[in-house]
Structure 1
């Protein structure tokens, strides 16, 4: 398709919400000039600290010039929230990397703001599968990468308590604190009880060698790839399992700190229901796409369901 003739080539009908707080530990160039040059007709809204993304989008959808495309510049958490709204309003998603890791957009081949705009100008889209995660009787949330319980959410909870130290130092202190107080939690699945260090529920099939499946591997995901790390090893192994890169995982395997294959249970399912019971004094939390969710004391029931072809996302054509 000729980019000059696509409906949104100049940004007409596009709402871009910019979450400037995403990826604050990463030095990035200001995308405002790129938006102005390449999408001059787009409406760009900078999300204030006290603003809610859903309210900003709702107001735009109720206006006389409701957007045809919902765009977001931010990290995985911001992108997943906008994907949820894109599903609600039946709009395509323009997702631009503006966070620390940008797991979702990288999996689709969108490695820069320009790459996302190129796809928008060309009208190049992909139908992306998601997961819906529901805790107890709450509303379902859209998940693009992974849902996790156990060691990783406790690490994130510890880090958020230390935001005044900065992301890097806060992360180091949080890791030491989480390692010191870590305890297995209890899950019940299909009537069977187990003591585990962590559970990762990935959207779509993932790398079979990983425990912490933080980045999705495929676009149209119709299944959940589950990794259950049973509590048969040490705390050190529990936190070693959070090695997100292949290189760091390989080093930990070489020095025999990575969890044993026998301790990792792998499942490929359409849906999963877990009753989660943390130890007394430990937080009742889970994480989805880097976003921490607090639940009431005593645990909660977590249900995840795979939803294929759930949202249309602008992305480069896939190689076959």
Structure 2
């Protein structure tokens, strides 16, 4: 066995020496300085952190790719530099193996195997491509150049680079095991429903929430261009939105309602549409636009076309009674740690921004979380969190990412019981290994209605990202096909 291993090792090293020699023999060119600069830019993942910032700013699949890329980058760097380099020490190529002008000023002294730069590059770009193939295609040549640059400047053997790239790609692909890829396919809605066409948007009243999304006028301006006769109403942020909208409906008698804002705004206008017996037009004016994405309404032009054609479909809208007070929601309702984190985020975001505030709030709340003792349809449970979704969410055995349908009157109920021993550790392990579906720390049910009674003090409930009230008695129901929603066929 030993001679075979020795012969393989000798052959690999001979191949490495040959390739390094070929790379060193390349004629001097402007690419030398560029590859050295690129190699240095990738130190400590700086290059990929900058790319992630651009992707997050772009939004949509690119944003999700940037976030997944950062997670994969952290995993690949930790495994390559923290685990494999100490376990498999290997001498780097001789500093004289490449021309002086290519050499980096401060050569690394850690083990040559595997290449941490290559692992990070492959992990980041592969993870980005999982969410956004287009962004992955754009970044792939940069990642390939980073990988080759490590040989070009003489700090890695080619097999170090190959091993690092394989490691990074594998870690990026493994994220799918516990972090599902969001489907871009719209959810199935209910039966087609013909409504009166509104040419140029005449008769359409659109509530525009200026505090939603990035605060730009791009979506409202697009609505004005495509539906020039629509009435765009911007409520006074100091007054109650619902009261202002109801007054505007009484004053103008519209034939349809529209909404340009986040999911919290969408549900308010949807509830008004149902009360008034009017169809709803949804425009993607929020930050995440869960409802618009799930229903396939991601482009102003598509919604405008449906309005002018008079095509609509029926959609479920859910309700929850909180100690007798009814509240609607179009996406999800949650209690446990999440509502508390929303309240803390709202206090912090004016000082440090929405996303940093959300991260700080969730970390603080989870660290101090206590289980809730509740009864679900009369059966006692102790839970960390309860999630109720309007429609069928997928995947069933992982953290829910999107909906497959919103027309069956189904409530997708998921909760994290605290009864299993070491439940939080089990939950973390099941999440990382992708075994949530079989874990006792994660329960999913599909029901038509649900009653929840909380033991002790009232708890906060968040619906569609906003805290809507505190209570001890919650009754969840679904108004099957209760909302008429404009959608292009």
What TM-score, normalized by structure 2, do the two folds share?
0.55
- Runs of 4+ more than 6 Å apart: none
Q: In structure 2, what is the equivalent of residue 71 of structure 1?
A: 258
Looking at secondary structure, tell me which structure has more strand per residue.
1
Does the C-alpha gap of structure 1 residues 310 and 168 become closer, same or farther in structure 2, counting only changes over 3 Å? same
Counterpart-to-counterpart distance in 2, 1:156 and 1:149 = 11
Q: In structure 2, what is the equivalent of residue 267 of structure 1?
A: 445
Counterpart-to-counterpart distance in 1, 2:437 and 2:400 = 14
Q: In structure 1, what is the equivalent of residue 473 of structure 2?
A: 301
Uncovered stretches (5+) of structure 1, i.e. residues with no partner: 1-5, 242-248
- Aligned-pair distance for 1:20? 1.1
- Aligned-pair distance for 1:259? 8.5
1:103 aligned residue (290, 307, 319): 290
Counterpart-to-counterpart distance in 2, 1:88 and 1:285 = 26
User: Is structure 2 residue 363 aligned with structure 1 residue 176?
Assistant: yes
Q: In structure 2, what is the equivalent of residue 3 of structure 1?
A: none
Q: In structure 2, what is the equivalent of residue 23 of structure 1?
A: 213
Counterpart-to-counterpart distance in 1, 2:426 and 2:286 = 28
Q: Point out the more displaced range, 269-278 or 75-84.
A: 269-278
Counterpart-to-counterpart distance in 1, 2:217 and 2:426 = 38
Counterpart-to-counterpart distance in 1, 2:300 and 2:411 = 29
Q: Secondary structure at the match of 1:162?
A: helix
Does the C-alpha gap of structure 1 residues 261 and 9 become closer, same or farther in structure 2, counting only changes over 3 Å? farther
Counterpart-to-counterpart distance in 1, 2:263 and 2:391 = 16
Counterpart-to-counterpart distance in 2, 1:307 and 1:214 = 22
CA deviation map 1:136-184 (0-9, x unaligned)? 021x122111111112222222212212221122122112211221111
CA deviation map 1:205-261 (0-9, x unaligned)? 2224356546433131312111121113454766x69xxxxxxx9xx42388x6862
Q: In structure 2, what is the equivalent of residue 142 of structure 1?
A: 328
Alpha-carbon RMSD across the aligned residues, in angstroms, is: 2.5
Does the C-alpha gap of structure 1 residues 255 and 134 become closer, same or farther in structure 2, counting only changes over 3 Å? closer
1:151 aligned residue (313, 334, 337): 337
Q: Secondary structure at the match of 2:210?
A: coil
Q: Secondary structure at the match of 2:244?
A: helix
- Aligned-pair distance for 1:294? 3.2
Counterpart-to-counterpart distance in 2, 1:166 and 1:260 = 38
Q: Secondary structure at the match of 1:182?
A: coil
1:53 aligned residue (233, 241, 244): 241
- Aligned-pair distance for 1:312? 0.3
* Native 8 Å contact 2:413 2:446 kept in 1: yes
* Native 8 Å contact 1:103 1:216 kept in 2: no
- Highest relative contact order (Cα 8 Å, sep 6+), 1 or 2? 1
Uncovered stretches (5+) of structure 2, i.e. residues with no partner: 1-195
Counterpart-to-counterpart distance in 1, 2:459 and 2:409 = 28
Looking at secondary structure, tell me which structure has more helix per residue.
2
1:190 aligned residue (373, 377, 393): 377
Q: Secondary structure at the match of 1:109?
A: coil
User: Is structure 2 residue 470 aligned with structure 1 residue 291?
Assistant: no
Q: In structure 1, what is the equivalent of residue 272 of structure 2?
A: 85
Q: Point out the more displaced range, 259-268 or 307-316.
A: 259-268
Mapping of residues 196-235 of structure 1, within 5 Å = 196-210=383-397, 212-213=399-400, 215-231=402-418, 232=420, 233-235=422-424
Q: Secondary structure at the match of 2:440?
A: helix
Q: Point out the more displaced range, 263-272 or 85-94.
A: 263-272
Q: Point out the more displaced range, 9-18 or 170-179.
A: 170-179
- Aligned-pair distance for 1:277? 3.7
Q: In structure 1, what is the equivalent of residue 432 of structure 2?
A: 253
Q: Secondary structure at the match of 1:202?
A: strand
Counterpart-to-counterpart distance in 2, 1:313 and 1:29 = 24
Does the C-alpha gap of structure 1 residues 61 and 114 become closer, same or farther in structure 2, counting only changes over 3 Å? same
CA deviation map 1:257-294 (0-9, x unaligned)? x686222222221110001247x7xx720111111123
What TM-score, normalized by structure 1, do the two folds share?
0.83
Q: Secondary structure at the match of 1:36?
A: helix
CA deviation map 1:94-153 (0-9, x unaligned)? 111111111111111111222221221222211001111110021x12211111111222
* Native 8 Å contact 2:338 2:362 kept in 1: no
Q: In structure 1, what is the equivalent of residue 221 of structure 2?
A: 33
The structure with the larger Rg is 2
Q: In structure 2, what is the equivalent of residue 245 of structure 1?
A: none
Aligned residues between the structures: 291
Q: In structure 2, what is the equivalent of residue 246 of structure 1?
A: none
1:10 aligned residue (180, 186, 200): 200
Does the C-alpha gap of structure 1 residues 70 and 260 become closer, same or farther in structure 2, counting only changes over 3 Å? same
